[in-house]
Structure 1
């Protein structure tokens, strides 16, 4: 049966009349809305730019354009350093902040230490690769957390404000 609200009730408690049935609230943007978080979009843009710069570094390193120079003055090294800083600046800043706060051996510090070590032993492309994959993981994790929170909010918004209870044939509000 349908009531004036257009809502069909099949619970049996109201005998299908749907009279006084509270409609579920739909959160702003609709249930399961997929609006992008601006911070994640910004991180994705930085990550994409970092990948493009690293790609340019690989092209230069491969001497495809005759731009290769001796070690220490390599344009490829400059491109890899730029790509690394673009992808990992938040990781490095977070590591320094945690180091000052007395938390030296956290994830950020260890990521910074290992990637800076890769630069120091002459493998800047490895440092960029590790940082890029780390940031991809962070973005995917944050995206999953945001979607989970949104889903939980949507489910909680379906909770009715009130309910009718039938006891011994009497309705209790």
Structure 2
């Protein structure tokens, strides 16, 4: 094979041009492109670190805002509970006052009704005594023929009723 026999003659020349090509590529990539790639990576790392720091600061601010909001909410809830308790107490006091007034009116009506009942009972008792006295006088007159006065008949009926 003729290619193998020429290998020794062309080896040094190929090795030289291989070294020149790799050297050129190394300097072009190493001196021209690599610093740009490294600066881009550094900028990206700095941007990520800045974004993480900003996110941490935003999270801290959000936590503080949430704590402030919770404090305000708890204060508002306590104030509302106090107002509800005040309104409830005022409602209970008003209801008790209204109930007391209604009870006073009812007690007055009951006392008035009891007085009327007592008066009616007394009047009925007096009338029963009067009717009983008249009946007793008539019965005595019919049975014995004796004439009894109204006062005597009343006295006898009272003695019989009251014991």
- TM bucket, shorter chain: under 0.3
Q: Give the TM-score normalised by structure 2.
A: 0.26
Q: Which protein has the bigger helix share?
A: 2
Q: Give the TM-score normalised by structure 1.
A: 0.25
Using CA pairs under 8 Å that are at least 6 residues apart, name the structure with larger relative contact order, 1 or 2.
1
Look at both structures and tell me which one has the larger radius of gyration over its CA atoms: 2
